[in-house]
Chain A
Amino acid sequence: METNPSFLARHEFLIRRLHSLSGLIPVGAYMCIHLLTNASTLDSSATFQRAVYQIHSLGHLLPVVEWVFIFIPILFHAIIGVVIIRGGLPNYGSYKYVNNLRYTLQRATGMIAFVFIMWHVFHMHGWFHFKDWREGIAEPLGGAQFAPYNAASSLGAAMMMWGVLYPILYAIGVLSCVFHLANGIWTMGITWGVWVSPVAQKRADRICAAFGIVLAVVGLSGIGGAVRIGDHGQRYEEAKAVEEKMWDAKIASGEIDPEEGLHKRSDTNDGHASAE
């Protein structure tokens, strides 16, 4: 009675190594850029809006880039991650070592990160951009709240939809992602054989911890920046005003087609500025 091993089994080494690599490139690298961009709200709403315009300057290529370099790698990393988690049996209760705790936390934060990212992408982008889906399903369910051409104001409003609830959920999600990346870089170095001796692993450990702390501060700053705008009437209005000015300038220079760009603006704008 011979049974052929499954595809996953036959290519287990390659798949696990790709899983390891995808966590750093592109998923981890993307997350660093994402958190840094978000933290730019602390400088000013205009700085953040400028960064978002820069990302959206890719135009029709943006969804392709997003799917190839962000969504598909995240889904791959998450799905293989679930398979890996199902194959293990955490035993921190019996063997209370720091590295064993980190093994358990790596799995826990991975699962939190997966749920968080799915929710976050729905909350901000509604998962899909088809008009019927967005207006009929995503927005009524509280999703698709982010308007790229009203970046800071829509982000602030989305963050403060339910008082302190969303900032807390975002903080938990971001900190889980940051731990998962920082600890993941350390284990990745062992997996690929970059740091081999205990001394080298200790050294790498300190560097990963420092990286994680810095990234956690950056991530929480982004949330703080969004809260700052969304929680304060005047700052919100100021953000709105500067976004109007930038939109008008983009229209005037012909950089954006007002018809095509309209769906990336908040519904509350009534289009009055663009009509001028």
Chain B
Amino acid sequence: MADTSHNGHKAPDSFEVRILRQGGPGQNSYWERHRVKHEQDMNVISVLQRIAANAQTVDGKSVAPVAWDCNCLEEVCGACTMVVNGRTRQACTALVDRLLEDNSKEIELQPMTKFPVLRDLMVDRSRMFRSLQKVKAWVPVDGYYDMGPGPKQSREQQEVAYPLSECMSCGCCLEACPQYTKVELTQRDDESDADFQKRKNAAYDSSFIGAAAISQAVLFNSHPTGKNTAGERLDALMDEGGIQVCGNAQNCVAVCPKEIPLTTSIAKAGRATTIHAIKKWFDR
């Protein structure tokens, strides 16, 4: 069947795109069909551009253009992550000809299901960034004077750390995780923005932190300077919604577009928290 996979060969003149749309947060979602003319080397982003330009459903009804997020167009920013044909991935590297190999009639696009929808295919992934804050996913070197160069890292250390540093916070690992469930709050009429943010943070903090943040905690705990605050990161991982919520389904590592060894990070964090818990128990 190799010859059908080549561009243009046996490709249809046009194909349908089924999109799960939503006007705004909290509104009802609905499916909408668009027809797109097939062109060479299309990806889902260029499909969405054609749909925006046309802004007409298959029934000829004029509609508002479908909203989506994108930025780098080379799978390093994570902004265009969505659910394509039932699978979480980046729209920019979802090539149309490959997708049509599975189903030559249509392509199905949905927003990620674990994050609140802002509009159409755009979601609010701030819970993930909150998780990174929670585990202090950085090296604390801010100060009033030059602290000089950090300690040297061995080649071996670098080779372990580099893959973890490739995380682009796209959220695929969280979307595919059966233990990571959606948290969506709505602002009350009498609630200020600051109060609403506080309430959201509290809800995010008590829900599962997810593979991405666990892996970042492992990355910065392995860094020679980052190590200084290793205990704080492990404390965060043992908080409510921490690493203990992981159910070992291992979908995270299977869907990660950067092939980050997330389950290795989870097991490392499991070991580190085991030791940390025992130490804390006997040291206090």
| A contact set with B: CB distance below 8 Å | 5, 9-10, 12-14, 16-17, 84, 87-91, 94-95, 97, 99-100, 102-104, 106, 187, 190-198, 201
Contacts and interface: CB of A to CB of B under 8 A. Distances in A.
B112 to A, nearest CB: 12
B247 A17 contact: no
A88 B247 contact: yes
Contacts of B244: 12-13, 16-17, 191
A193 B178 contact: no
B100 interface: no
B270 A192 contact: yes
B248 A193 contact: no
B249 A195 contact: no
11 contacts: A12-B240, A16-B244, A87-B179, A88-B178, A88-B247, A91-B251, A95-B87, A95-B255, A190-B248, A193-B270, A193-B274
Nearest to A184: B248
Q: Which range contains the number of B residues in contact with the other chain?
A: 35 or more
Given A95-B254, A99-B248, A193-B267, A89 B181 contact: yes
Interface of B: 86-87, 176, 178-179, 181, 206, 238-251, 254-255, 261, 263-264, 266-274, 277
Of A13, A87, A187, A201, most B-chain CB atoms within 10 Å: A13
B238 A13 contact: yes
Given A9-B240, A13-B277, A201-B263, A100 B249 contact: yes
A9 B206 contact: yes
Nearest to A198: B264
A100 B272 contact: no
A256 B249 CA distance: 52
Given A88-B178, A195-B267, A103 B248 contact: yes
A103 B250 CA distance: 9
Contacts of B273: 13, 193
B86 A97 contact: no
Given A99-B249, A194-B271, 16 more contacts: A5-B240, A9-B206, A9-B240, A13-B239, A13-B277, A16-B244, A84-B247, A87-B181, A89-B179, A89-B181, A97-B251, A103-B247, A104-B178, A187-B248, A191-B244, A191-B246
